[in-house]
Amino acid sequence: MAENNGYSLWYEFKKGLWQDIPPFRLVLGTCPTLAVTNSVINGFAMGMATLFVLLGSNIIISAIRKYVAPQVRIAAYVVIIALLVTVADMFLAAFFPPVSKALGPYVPLIVVNCIILGRAEAFAQKNPVAPSIADALGIGIGFTLSLMTMGFIREILGFGSLFNIKLIPPSLFEPWIVMILPAGAFLVFGTLIAIVNYISSRKSAEADKA
C-alpha cells in the first residue's frame, strides 16, 4: 500500500464511498450485511457501531504502529478491537436498549468483522494517523450506507414499511416474507453487487475511451 505521498486525505476518504465500498466492492464484513439488514434502522445502527470501532482501531493502531513487534501485531490488534467493541456494545445497551436487542449478538461479533482487521492490516499499520482517520471515516460511512440500502430494500419489500412506519397498506401489497429471511438477504446482496459491478464496468469503459 502506498505511503501518503501522492494521495490526498480526500482521496483516502472518498475511496470508501465508491471505489472500495464495503461490502459490495471490498467484499468483507458480509456477516453483519446478511444478518442484521432487515430494516433501515438496524442497518444504520450496525453501520454506526462499526464506524466507531473502525475509527478507534485505525487511530490507535496507526499511532502505535512503530512500537508493536510485527510477530505479535495481530494479537495486539485483536485486544484493541475487542476493547472498542465492548465500549460500543455497552453504549448501545445503555442508551438504545431496543436497538441493542434487535442487533443481538452481532454487535459483539464486530470483533471478528473482517473490515476492521482488514483496514488495520492493510492501511493503519502502514500509514500515519491522519490518513488512517480519513480511511476509517470513508470505509465506515460507505459500510453504513450499504447496510442502509440493503435495509431499505428489505424493509420495504419484507414488511411494507420504512423506519418501522407502515407505508403501504396490506390491502395493496402483500409483503414478501422471503425478504426478511436469510434467503432474501442473499438475493438483495447479490443483486446489489451486480448493479455496482455493472456501473463500475461502465465507468471504467468510459474512462478508457476518454
Partner 1 sequence: MEDKTNDKTEVKSASEAPAGPGGERLFVTSSPHFLNNESVPKIMHTVVLALFPAMAASVYFFGFRALLLYAICIGACLATEYAFQKYMKRPIKIYDGSAIITGILLAMTLPPGFPVFGAILGSVFAIGVGKQLFGGLGFNIFNPALLGRAFLMATYPVLTTTWVEPRTVQKAVDAVSAATPLALMKFEHKLTPVLDLFTGNVAGSLGETSAIAILIGGLFLRYKGYVNWKLPLGYLGSMAVFSGIFWLIDPSKYPSPLFHLFAGGAMLGAWFMVTDMVTSPTTDIGQWIFAITGGIMAVVIRLFGGLPEGVMYSILFMNAFVPLLNKHTRPRVFGAIKAKAE
Q: Contact positions toward partner 1, by CB under 8 A?
A: 174, 176-179, 181, 183-184, 187
Nearer to partner 1 among residue 128 and residue 190 (C-beta) = 190
Q: Which is nearer to partner 1, 43 or 184 (CB)?
A: 184
Per DSSP, 21 falls in state -
Phi-psi domain of 8 (left: phi exceeds 0; alpha: psi -120 through 50; beta: other): beta
Q: Which three cell numbers stand for residue 93?
A: 445497551
Q: Please say whether the beta carbons of 49 and 102 come within 8 A.
A: no
Closest distance to partner 1 from the beta carbon of 159 (Å):
13
In the complex, least distance from residue 153 CB atom to partner 1, rounded to whole angstroms? 14
Contacts 24+ apart (CB under 8 A), 102-108: 102/36, 102/39, 102/41, 102/42, 102/45, 103/36, 103/42, 103/45, 103/46, 103/49, 106/31, 106/32, 106/35, 106/36, 106/46, 107/46, 107/49
Measured CA distances, 48 to 5, 55, 68 (Å): 30, 10, 28
- In the complex with partner 1, the residue whose CB is nearer, 27 or 183, is 183
Q: How far is the CB of 207 from partner 1 (least distance, A)?
A: 23
- Based on CB atoms, which residue is closest to partner 1, 141 or 187? 187
Report the residue number, 34 or 141, with the smaller CB distance to partner 1. 34
